Structure 1
């Protein structure tokens, strides 16, 4: 099936399942497999309304979330079965995206999970979706960079199909873990994702503000998948009151902000998708307009930090028992970036434990490819490199982690 832009995704799954009897007593994934007619009806309606991409109902089917519901050793099988239902609903008229969502786990100091564990949690889910023959992957409702990066690496370990990533943020454009969405975009672009944007969060009006910010950093198509307005709690339940006509009123502004991929999140239904199709009929997309095309796109976990090609760092910091103090001193200095020398994977692990101190672009100084990869894997920003590692090794690390060299 040929993809054309503007591309229309589907609408909500969770709120539509609730209309059909889902109460949350069991996981949504378990309930869908017990009531397959529910998702088939929802997704066939979306295709009839104009959706050209259906999200497999695998939102909470990572190993962590399934085990929280007492479902063990069935991750890949669950995802194969869930994706098969969407393929049945699509019937060749829409693509099917394997859907991965947050684990709810955090790295130190906010939590105790290791980054390796996050990748391990997502890998069987990605493998099951790939085995089911999904056409692409969507990593959605991301609230932390660690989950998003782990999910991308897990997908890339089993597939070379396109990856879409969408985050959710507050009105200031920050995630739960404090990452600005512009930093998330810079990091995800470096890792080679094919489209980036926002979902859930809020309605179209609030989302437009952040998408305009993203356009200045984007080099990939942007995605808008807002809720049907801001939810209101009525009798203990979230109620979404944005009708289809209001939902699509800002489509021209979203197009101007660089959005090429549209859909709906919580509270939307086939009526909202039909309205999107009508609003996008004959529309032309506006390409993103990156503000700093000639600068190096570095980023910390929190913020994008573009650098001129000739930017210098201060004294190279060794990984010793004084690493925290040395990093803090470097943060207070005048140099635009900080450099850390790595001699072993143990050094990389030590750096990962104190990376929350890094508020400047990070340059890794290293002559061992395996050590450099260990550091890049666990560092949640987008790093630069200095050293004598062969070009072919650096090119692979650039493709996987967005290394700048």
Structure 2
């Protein structure tokens, strides 16, 4: 069962919050916690949930202060297949339960919603959808069964490479009576890994009952926005956008293939040189809002200062806005010192 109204951080449902206006999402937990030294790059299994829970609490709290409307339980890759890979299969249930409990704890500090989380499993095979889909279904049922018992407002099913796997996740959410935001990872230029145009895939998910459809991960703002416009024009449900904060382009639409000056691959631990600034992510948020995106967030590479900039660009004043830059008070960059450092505002815009 989902949480009773008395136990919710917010009495409003996911659908009601969407009806109130654009929601701000914040993800990128595993990348940010890897940078902080609590997640291992490569497997990206969220062992931090049990090994350093206060580090996870702190990141949730920072995202909340930066303006996020949702605390996403860090159960990305906390499924049976990935935990087995790192020798932590016995931690499957406690890891999933603890992640939702921590998300609930911090959400209550600011009236945020809590999202359960499922993702690509690497088990789905479009050549054998029935057998592989049954494996995926069992993993999702495990994770979401515990999430429901601990209390979530809705589910984010994300980074779906296959429409078929996304539909399995949506069906499990519906079995449990949970609203679902289902987003696709658009690694390939035009289609999902099982051959569906991204717009058509989102349309099928909407027709199947997803509360929200859209895109997350893989693409940066420049290569995600054109797809988002097509999706927004093609579905009658709310649309979500959670790009990575990296400079993808038409030649390299997904950040997994970005290369550096030496020709070497940047993904996943050399991406800093391709990163967007807070001002560029703020501009993305404004553009996404302008084309009618209902859930504007960020994915791998996201961090609290980027979320704050995006929220402020959409007209929010967040708890962290108290500490937004005031460079007119800087002893060098402030008024009367532009002759020394140049015009900072022109550089930053």
TM bin (shorter chain): 0.7 to 0.9
Distance verdict in 2 for CA 1:171–1:105, change over 3 Å = closer
Deviations 1:10-37 (A, max 9, x none): 1311121012212248753223311111
- Aligned match of 1:239: 271
Tell me which residue corresponds to 2:314.
280
Match of 1:377 in 2: none
The CA distance in 2 between the partners of 1:150 and 1:111, in whole Å, is: 10
Does residue 210 (structure 1) correspond to residue 244 (structure 2)? The answer is: no
Contact 1:171–1:206 (Cα < 8 Å) also in 2? no
CA contact (8 A) 1:165 1:193 kept: yes
Which structure is larger by alpha-carbon Rg, 1 or 2? 1
Greater share of strand residues, 1 or 2? Answer: 1
160, 168, 176: which one aligns with 2:193: 176
Aligned 8 A contact 1:199 1:265 in 2 = yes
CA drift of 1:257 comes to 2.6
Residue 15 in structure 1 maps to residue 49 in structure 2 = no
1:286 aligned partner:
none
Please give the alpha-carbon distance, in whole angstroms, between the structure 1 residues aligned to 2:78 and 2:293: 28
**Cα distance per residue 1:289-344 (max 9 Å; x no partner):** xxxxxxxxxxxxxxxxxxxxxxxxxxxxxxxxxxxxxxxxxxxxxxxxxxxxxxxx
SS at match of 1:275: helix
Deviations 1:56-115 (A, max 9, x none): 110012222222333336534321111111112222421111110111123252789432
Matching of residues 267-306 of structure 1 within 5 Å? 267-281=301-315
Consecutive unaligned residues in structure 2, runs of 5 or more: 1-9, 248-254, 317-349
Q: What is the CA–CA distance in structure 1 between the aligned matches of 2:27 and 2:305, rounded to whole Å?
A: 9
User: Is the contact made by 2:289 and 2:296 (CA closer than 8 Å) also made in structure 1?
Assistant: no
Relative contact order higher in (CA < 8 Å, ≥ 6 apart) = 2
Structure 1, 102-111 or 223-232: larger mean CA deviation: 102-111
Q: Secondary structure at the match of 2:181?
A: strand
SS in 1 for 2:225: helix
TM (norm. structure 1) is 0.65
Question: What residue number does 2:5 align with?
Answer: none
Give the 5 Å matches for 1:138-149: 138-149=156-167
1: distance between equivalents of 2:79 and 2:190? Answer: 26
In structure 2, relative to structure 1, the CA distance for the partners of 1:43 and 1:108 (3 Å cut) is closer
User: C-alpha separation between the residues in 2 aligned to 1:172 and 1:219?
Assistant: 24
Contact 1:173 1:181 in 2 (8 A): yes
Separation in structure 2 between the aligned mates of residue 251 and residue 27 of structure 1, nearest angstrom: 27
Distance change in 2, residues 1:238/1:175 (3 Å):
farther
Match of 1:266 among 300, 312, 325: 300
- CA distance 1:26–1:177, change in 2 (3 Å): closer
SS of equivalent residue, structure 1 residue 54: strand
Match of 2:145 in 1: 127
Q: 1:53 to 1:173 in 2, by over 3 A?
A: farther
**Partner SS, residue 138 of structure 2:** helix
Looking at structure 1, the residues matched to 42 and 286 of structure 2 have their Cα atoms a distance apart, in angstroms, of 41
Q: CA deviation at 1:131?
A: 0.9
SS of alignment partner, residue 18 of structure 1: helix
Question: 1:239 deviation in Å?
Answer: 1.3
For the Cα contact (< 8 Å) 1:105–1:113, is it kept in 2?
A: no
- Structure 1 residue 51: deviation in Å? 0.4
TM-score for both structures, normalised by structure 2: 0.74
Task: Report how many residues are paired.
Answer: 281
